[in-house]
Amino acid sequence: MSGRSHEEGLKDLTLLGNQHTQYSFEYAPEVLEAVDNLHSNRDYFVKFNCPEFTSLCPMTHQPDFATMYISYVPDQKLVESKSLKLYLFSFRNHGDFHEDCVNIIMNDLIQLLDPRYIEVWGKFTPRGGLSIDPWCNYGKPGTKYEEMAHFRLMNHDLYPEKIDNR
Amino acid sequence: MSGRSHEEGLKDLTLLGNQHTQYSFEYAPEVLEAVDNLHSNRDYFVKFNCPEFTSLCPMTHQPDFATMYISYVPDQKLVESKSLKLYLFSFRNHGDFHEDCVNIIMNDLIQLLDPRYIEVWGKFTPRGGLSIDPWCNYGKPGTKYEEMAHFRLMNHDLYPEKIDNR
Amino acid sequence: MSGRSHEEGLKDLTLLGNQHTQYSFEYAPEVLEAVDNLHSNRDYFVKFNCPEFTSLCPMTHQPDFATMYISYVPDQKLVESKSLKLYLFSFRNHGDFHEDCVNIIMNDLIQLLDPRYIEVWGKFTPRGGLSIDPWCNYGKPGTKYEEMAHFRLMNHDLYPEKIDNR
Amino acid sequence: MSGRSHEEGLKDLTLLGNQHTQYSFEYAPEVLEAVDNLHSNRDYFVKFNCPEFTSLCPMTHQPDFATMYISYVPDQKLVESKSLKLYLFSFRNHGDFHEDCVNIIMNDLIQLLDPRYIEVWGKFTPRGGLSIDPWCNYGKPGTKYEEMAHFRLMNHDLYPEKIDNR
Amino acid sequence: MSGRSHEEGLKDLTLLGNQHTQYSFEYAPEVLEAVDNLHSNRDYFVKFNCPEFTSLCPMTHQPDFATMYISYVPDQKLVESKSLKLYLFSFRNHGDFHEDCVNIIMNDLIQLLDPRYIEVWGKFTPRGGLSIDPWCNYGKPGTKYEEMAHFRLMNHDLYPEKIDNR
Amino acid sequence: MSGRSHEEGLKDLTLLGNQHTQYSFEYAPEVLEAVDNLHSNRDYFVKFNCPEFTSLCPMTHQPDFATMYISYVPDQKLVESKSLKLYLFSFRNHGDFHEDCVNIIMNDLIQLLDPRYIEVWGKFTPRGGLSIDPWCNYGKPGTKYEEMAHFRLMNHDLYPEKIDNR
Amino acid sequence: MSGRSHEEGLKDLTLLGNQHTQYSFEYAPEVLEAVDNLHSNRDYFVKFNCPEFTSLCPMTHQPDFATMYISYVPDQKLVESKSLKLYLFSFRNHGDFHEDCVNIIMNDLIQLLDPRYIEVWGKFTPRGGLSIDPWCNYGKPGTKYEEMAHFRLMNHDLYPEKIDNR
Amino acid sequence: MSGRSHEEGLKDLTLLGNQHTQYSFEYAPEVLEAVDNLHSNRDYFVKFNCPEFTSLCPMTHQPDFATMYISYVPDQKLVESKSLKLYLFSFRNHGDFHEDCVNIIMNDLIQLLDPRYIEVWGKFTPRGGLSIDPWCNYGKPGTKYEEMAHFRLMNHDLYPEKIDNR
Amino acid sequence: MSGRSHEEGLKDLTLLGNQHTQYSFEYAPEVLEAVDNLHSNRDYFVKFNCPEFTSLCPMTHQPDFATMYISYVPDQKLVESKSLKLYLFSFRNHGDFHEDCVNIIMNDLIQLLDPRYIEVWGKFTPRGGLSIDPWCNYGKPGTKYEEMAHFRLMNHDLYPEKIDNR
Amino acid sequence: MSGRSHEEGLKDLTLLGNQHTQYSFEYAPEVLEAVDNLHSNRDYFVKFNCPEFTSLCPMTHQPDFATMYISYVPDQKLVESKSLKLYLFSFRNHGDFHEDCVNIIMNDLIQLLDPRYIEVWGKFTPRGGLSIDPWCNYGKPGTKYEEMAHFRLMNHDLYPEKIDNR
Ligand SMILES: [Ca+2]
Ligand SMILES: [Ca+2]
Ligand SMILES: [Ca+2]
Ligand SMILES: [Ca+2]
Ligand SMILES: [Ca+2]
Ligand SMILES: [Ca+2]
Ligand SMILES: [Ca+2]
Ligand SMILES: [Ca+2]
Ligand SMILES: [Ca+2]
Ligand SMILES: [Ca+2]
Ligand SMILES: [Ca+2]
Ligand SMILES: [Ca+2]
Ligand SMILES: [Ca+2]
Ligand SMILES: [Ca+2]
Ligand SMILES: [Ca+2]
Ligand SMILES: [Ca+2]
């Protein structure tokens, strides 16, 4: 089987293919791991669809649920998908407002990857008949990606999806 | 449990976690409450999906129903979600045209939050075979968000959703 | 214009075509009105789709929202649609459990119409992440419609609709 | 081109292929025409989907709109589709209750075709937030199709379609 | 009940709340009525969804059906919704090409409202397997809304909806 | 590669894997071919979804389009899929009423396969605003499949799909 | 406000309207509470839609997610919805196979309610490209509901929903 | 009946309202006809949805199927819809690659109409598991519509529709 | 963590939680493993949704793709999900007709589990414009499940899903 | 049959219409073939929808599945569709990360076609609850298409599709 080899970044991974994974359900940004981006000569997007996100409400300690969409233009590093899964698991018993969760996730990925561009959208299920969908983004300061971040903010969500709480 | 602490704005909330909430069904903008925005260093969007809005027709006093979509870029304050719920409940026995409702909601949130940018879209159910969907927006005057408001008006709803009254 | 004439039951209607309708938002079964069924020689179904039902929670006094589906086989009487609308409006400030609402609506229509068969399905929006959909039915005792009621109970909702609270 | 020939019932048609069709917008059951059923040796269904039905409200003279579904098991005759179109057009300025329209359409087709079995379902758009969907059926008396009519009444619409008036 | 008062434009309305409405089914632009826009200090959109539009083909006199989407940025006036309903009813026995209907509707609303911006989209049902969806727009000449009209023409319908004639 | 071998019915196929296929666009039931059913010890269903069916109207010679659903319980033979494709192609310049097409297709497959049970459903696109969906079925006379055919006729299409001609 | 009163079962509830709820994330069937069924004179269904169910895999301790559909015909008791929410929360850190979860939930509700009939369907998200949807049901032994349980098993899920793991 | 009159371009039409239409199934651009654009004072779009397009593969002579979307900004002429239908029929026995068909259709309409702007999108059904969707556009050279064509190319299909070949 | 313990069947599993899984892409029924059914006192259904099935065409060796739905009523054994995944993987380079694949899968699971009832439905992607969806089922001979198998065959797929090959 | 002739690029094709195709399941970019673009005088898009892509995970050797969307503006060459199918087949036993697959496919098509513009989007099914959708694009360096590539990156996927892993 040809394809990406150990020389191209697989040998450093501790999680993918490791059977005896430990799961932390307390906020654990340290589980995040990166692999080399083999295509850093070009700008391209990678999107993660994460419909199984759950955290706790900081006031009531009641579970919250969301679909997280994480999308970025990598620079030298890609986030390894199994480590991202474990990182998102670690919010399971963590309490924060919806607006805080998306900002924290984006901050941690900026720290890990130093990406050219990144955005995170959390779409939560309703409490009391209202649902909240915070969205944040970031472009590397002083580069064209900073302008790209403003451009995408300007154009964000002109077409809110149809919601009926069912 | 880690996360947003009382020091970060939770202690001032009167509603969230208060069991003996009183519900007003007369227009009551005073119930709106705000919490600190912990991420005011960046622009980001918060959207509320509100499919359970109801008010009265000012002419016939007949109930109207809508889904309200409220989306904003916070400055120093976030609207607290339980207070927003109570505020929207307070239209229950209030009479106004559809076009007025969305403008009033936006005005009250501008007063509460002094947001960088905000928009409100009401999608009402039909009366006499016609349905009405008013949309308004606002950017803080004299800032780039004012231009953003015009830009989003220019691009508003180029793809009206399919409607068949069923 | 041909069609159903005043002789065929229109002349007794007090509501349809009456502009100065008064709306009660307290439970008011007395507003229900009936018209003659011109086709009582055959069994047939009439279904009302009512996506604008709202009532209050008897414990918290918080608004609840539902789509009500009312379906019946008439005997000598049809329910007049504008009176049904007013009747459903009258739950607006009334408090009852979801399970009670559908049973009460069915009881009132049985009283009004003495139908051969009737069923009522309420599909409510979620509270605390759960939504409740009670369904009741009735066949005139001692007739084949009583068996029909049991048959339809046996076959009820083998395919629950997909729900994700969004 | 092979296929159904003039000998097999085409020669008697006055409408299909007649360019100078006159349209009546007053109830005109006499425009209905039939062709021979070439497969009367077997039971089979023919369904017409008619999403462009419009009539008037007998009280307010306001236009009503519906999708009509007409489905039958032919005996010796099929209804010719262009004549059915003209017949349905003829309700355009006719006033009747929704419950009456479906019964009248079925009665006229029974008279024309003497079918083994037939059913008609009208799904109307809402007035005052309520929509009405009457459904009637018929099996030739004294045959197994009469039992079939009762069986299908028993099983009718256990899964009401989702309605939100939009 | 608070809200929009008679002093704010309700007292001049002749239709809303008038039970004895006469319906014209011949083109009648004179039925259109306007109310004051209480929010003329800002630009905002009002959209009407009109899925019950019907007219006649000018060549064959056969009924046509469409959903009309009318969207505008008001200046000093709003179109009153019941008068718009009656105006659209008045095409019922009127014959014109699809392309003409949308232009005529827009012309009449420009005459009534002198709006800042307006657009009309008609989505018709198919004849002979083809359906036609004309779209026109307008910005007040010599203002920024004229540029907005060109901008929206440039961006019109880059994503045609999926059509299969069923 | 293991699996069905030439000994199990592949060697007689003239079409599958034959590059120089000739396409007939005149009705050609003779192109149908069968392979052995390796599982005739049990009853099971095979369904073909055929959304690319087209024929001509026998009166106007205008093209018609349909999705054909063919479903059967085989006895000793299966229809080979490429031959079925060619057979359906052969209606391309053939003229027949919709009701005739489904009956003819079923007759030809009964002749080819002598199946235990078979049914054919044609769902055509609209002409003049009406669409027609004929459905026929068959069970081998004198067997339990004959009863099955009646049972399925009784239960046919209690839930007509939503149609709006778009 | 009229409606269900304290005398009719509300006074015994410990959870609904109690602000200081404690959440257990370890399996806790003891939190379930019941209220009186005011309509035990008739058979009717109550369905709970629960799209926010999460548990752990007993082998890998990895989180699992499901939508649970719980539907029952009550006898003397209804399950109180807030207690059901807490009960489902208590699976959050509990490990069991999907097949076991649905059976355990049903067993606990049978113990609490002694219902006439009950069924539970869990629809889980995929692991390794496969998703599992166990469904169980129960009718009170020696009653007609036991036959109803067999009847519904016979008819269970003849139309599996379309799944593409996206 | 008022509306577009013979003086406004109807009298020159040879096809619409002509019963004895001949259908060519060989490529026949000469059947295209135009009518006057009564609104050439403004830019507006006309879109044709054509889900019944079929042609042949030039290599295998096997039928291909597509939905064609044709959208243009007229100058002095509109394409008459019945002639467009006949023109599209004429590809029925014509063989060309998918990429060629859309370009040929656009070329023929440019020749007929000299439009300000035009675009054609063909969405074909799959062969060998792949489907092909070519899209071309054109703006009158030396006008602002040429820039519009480039602008729309730049923005074309950023959101490919979901495809699963079913 | 409570729940299913090693004593209840987990200790015998060789695959779940074993990191160094070997994947066979040649038909390998021997990889299937079973666990104890802890609820054999009752009849219940377990469904596997398998949208990632792929095999080869026995004639052309071209890849085929399907969604497999496997649903059964267990007796003493459940199929372990990871072993089922590996088993389905083993068809990757195996060649068989669609009709054969579903029968083989069902035969192998009957051999492994001796279930009370089982059914398998394969929904394949189209080749040459046709798609094939074979469905087979089985009830333990001489038990009520054999009748159940016939009952479900009788009722199979009365509502074929909408297919357009896109 | 008129249309594209052998002189216009068909004669050089080795695959289309060649029955004895050999399928490679090891990465084989050499199977790609091109035909002449007959419309190189204009910019236009060609999109391939490829819902049947499968490869292996480089770490676990487990199969991955994706829908690939390939869209380009041709210069002098078009990719021949059968050769593209074979090329995509050749990933069947090839192992690479999702991010690598889309970049490799785009690189190979750039080498084959020297297109003006190209983009590739892979939408994979989830592993461990997460799915990954990488997207890359390219414009010919030093031309306006390079700017077009940046413009489309800026605008990429502002509306992530709804994902729930089912
Ligand atoms: Ca929803
Ligand atoms: Ca709708
Ligand atoms: Ca809630
Ligand atoms: Ca939903
Ligand atoms: Ca209405
Ligand atoms: Ca709807
Ligand atoms: Ca459609
Ligand atoms: Ca038509
Ligand atoms: Ca449709
Ligand atoms: Ca998976
Ligand atoms: Ca799906
Ligand atoms: Ca999904
Ligand atoms: Ca699809
Ligand atoms: Ca194909
Ligand atoms: Ca499809
Ligand atoms: Ca997964």
pLDDT classification of B59: cutoffs 50, 70, 90: confident
Q: How far is the CA of E130 from the centre of ligand 8 (A)?
A: 7
H147 labeled binding residue: no
Averaged pLDDT score across all residues of chain D:
92
* pLDDT (mean) for G25-39: 95
pLDDT at D1: 47
- In 3D space, the residue among I114, I121, I111, I158 whose CA is nearest the CA of residue I139 turns out to be I114
Highest averaged pLDDT of the listed ranges B3-12, G95-104, I10-19: G95-104
pLDDT exceeds 90 at position F81: yes
**Phi and psi at residue D104, to the nearest 5°:** -65, -45
Q: Are B122 and B100 in contact (CB under 8 A)?
A: no
Note whether A163 contacts B: Cβ–Cβ < 8 A: yes
- Apex CA B148: angle with CA B143 and CA B152, to 5°? 155
pLDDT exceeds 90 at position B163: yes
Min distance H8 CA to chain D CA atoms (Å): 22
Alpha helices in C32-131 (DSSP H): 81-89, 98-113
Closest partner residue to C2 (CB to CB) among D27, D126, D136 is D27
User: Distance between CA F96 and CA F105 in Å, rounded?
Assistant: 12
**Cβ contact, residue pair I165, H166, below 8 Å:** yes
pLDDT at A37: 97
Of residues H54 and I96, more confidently modeled: H54
Q: Are D89 and D142 in contact (CB under 8 A)?
A: no
pLDDT at B7: 57
Integer angstrom CA distances of residue H12 from E59, E99, J38: 12, 18, 36
Note whether F43 contacts D: Cβ–Cβ < 8 A: no
**Cβ contact, residue pair H125, I65, below 8 Å:** no
User: Distance between CA A39 and CA G127 in Å, rounded?
Assistant: 30
pLDDT exceeds 80 at position J11: no
The count of residues in chain E is 166
Q: Tokens standing for B10?
A: 């939770």
Q: Pick the catalytic residue: A36, A43, A50, A57?
A: A57
User: Distance between CA F79 and CA I95 in Å, rounded?
Assistant: 18
pLDDT at I141: 98
pLDDT at A157: 98
- In 3D space, the residue among F94, F70, F92, F84 whose CA is nearest the CA of residue F31 turns out to be F84
Q: Are G67 and C164 in contact (CB under 8 A)?
A: yes
pLDDT at I95: 87
Residue with tokens 């496969």: G130
pLDDT at C23: 84
Of residues J8 and F97, more confidently modeled: F97
Q: Tokens standing for C88?
A: 């459903």
pLDDT tens digits for range G47-79: 999 999 999 998 889 999 999 999 999 999 999
Q: How far is the CA of C161 from the centre of ligand 12 (A)?
A: 14
CA G36 to mean position of chain CA atoms: 18
**Beta-bridge mates of residue I70:** I48, I120
Min distance F140 CA to chain H CA atoms (Å): 31
User: Distance between CA D81 and CA F57 in Å, rounded?
Assistant: 12
J26 labeled binding residue: no
Touching partners of H (3+ C-beta pairs < 8 Å):
D, E, F, I, J
pLDDT at G12: 63
pLDDT at J18: 62
**Beta-bridge mates of residue F100:** none
Contacts of F125 in chain I (CB under 8 A): none
Q: Which of F54, F89, F163 to mutate to test the interface with H (most CBs of H within 10 A)?
A: F54
Averaged pLDDT score across all residues of chain I:
92
Averaged pLDDT score across all residues of chain A:
92
Q: Tokens standing for A9?
A: 């970044």
pLDDT at J59: 85
pLDDT at F6: 56
Averaged pLDDT score across all residues of chain F:
92
pLDDT exceeds 70 at position G127: yes
Rg (CA), chain G: 17
Q: How far is the CA of E160 from the centre of ligand 11 (A)?
A: 23
Note whether C10 contacts D: Cβ–Cβ < 8 A: yes
pLDDT classification of E100: cutoffs 50, 70, 90: very high
pLDDT at D59: 85
pLDDT at I16: 61
Helix (H) and strand (E) counts in chain E: 3, 7
The count of residues in chain G is 166
pLDDT classification of I11: cutoffs 50, 70, 90: low
pLDDT at B18: 61
User: Distance between CA G51 and CA G49 in Å, rounded?
Assistant: 6
pLDDT at I139: 98
Q: Are A116 and A43 in contact (CB under 8 A)?
A: yes
* pLDDT (mean) for G99-117: 97
- Domains defined along chain E, listed by start: 25-154 (3.30.1130.10)
Known catalytic residue: D96?
no
What percent of chain B stands above pLDDT 70? 88
Q: Tokens standing for A6?
A: 């150990």
E strand or H helix that includes residue E51: strand E44-56
pLDDT at J21: 75
Contacts of G17 in chain B (CB under 8 A): 19
pLDDT at A1: 47
Contacts of I94 in chain F (CB under 8 A): 1-3
pLDDT at C25: 87
pLDDT exceeds 80 at position F70: yes
Q: Are E122 and H26 in contact (CB under 8 A)?
A: no
Beta pairing, strands C131-139 & G44-56: antiparallel
pLDDT tens digits for range H70-99: 999 999 999 999 999 999 999 999 888 999
pLDDT exceeds 70 at position A58: yes
pLDDT tens digits for range I71-124: 999 999 999 999 999 999 999 998 889 999 999 999 999 999 999 999 999 999
Lowest mean per-residue pLDDT among A153-157, B54-58, E31-35, I21-25: I21-25
Nearest CA in chain J to I125: J52
A98 labeled binding residue: yes
pLDDT classification of C24: cutoffs 50, 70, 90: confident
Instruction: Give the ligand at the shortest distance from the Cα of J129.
Output: 16
Q: Which residues of A130-147 are buried (b: 16+ CB within 10 A; e: fewer)?
A: bbbbbbbbbbbeeeebee
Q: Are F70 and F50 in contact (CB under 8 A)?
A: yes
Q: Are G153 and C156 in contact (CB under 8 A)?
A: no
Closest partner residue to I61 (CB to CB) among J23, J54, J166 is J23
* pLDDT (mean) for F56-76: 95
pLDDT at G120: 98
What percent of chain F stands above pLDDT 90? 80
pLDDT at G10: 63
What percent of chain D stands above pLDDT 90? 80
pLDDT at B1: 47
Nearest CA in chain D to E66: D52
Contacts of D125 in chain E (CB under 8 A): 51-52
B79 labeled binding residue: yes
**Cβ contact, residue pair B63, C92, below 8 Å:** yes
pLDDT exceeds 90 at position F137: yes
pLDDT exceeds 80 at position J153: yes
pLDDT at B10: 62
* J124 CB burial (10 A radius; 0-12, 13-18, 19+): buried
Lowest mean per-residue pLDDT among A59-63, D6-10, D90-94, H105-109: D6-10
Note whether F19 contacts J: Cβ–Cβ < 8 A: yes
What percent of chain G stands above pLDDT 90? 80
pLDDT at E46: 98
Nearest CA in chain D to B123: D166
pLDDT tens digits for range C56-105: 998 889 999 999 999 999 999 999 999 999 999 999 998 889 999 999 99
Q: Are J94 and J27 in contact (CB under 8 A)?
A: yes
What does the DSSP 8-state code read for residue J130? B
pLDDT exceeds 80 at position D5: no
**Cβ contact, residue pair C63, B92, below 8 Å:** yes
Contacts of A52 in chain G (CB under 8 A): 54, 63, 65, 125
pLDDT tens digits for range C107-129: 999 999 999 999 999 999 999 99
* pLDDT (mean) for H1-21: 63
pLDDT at G77: 97
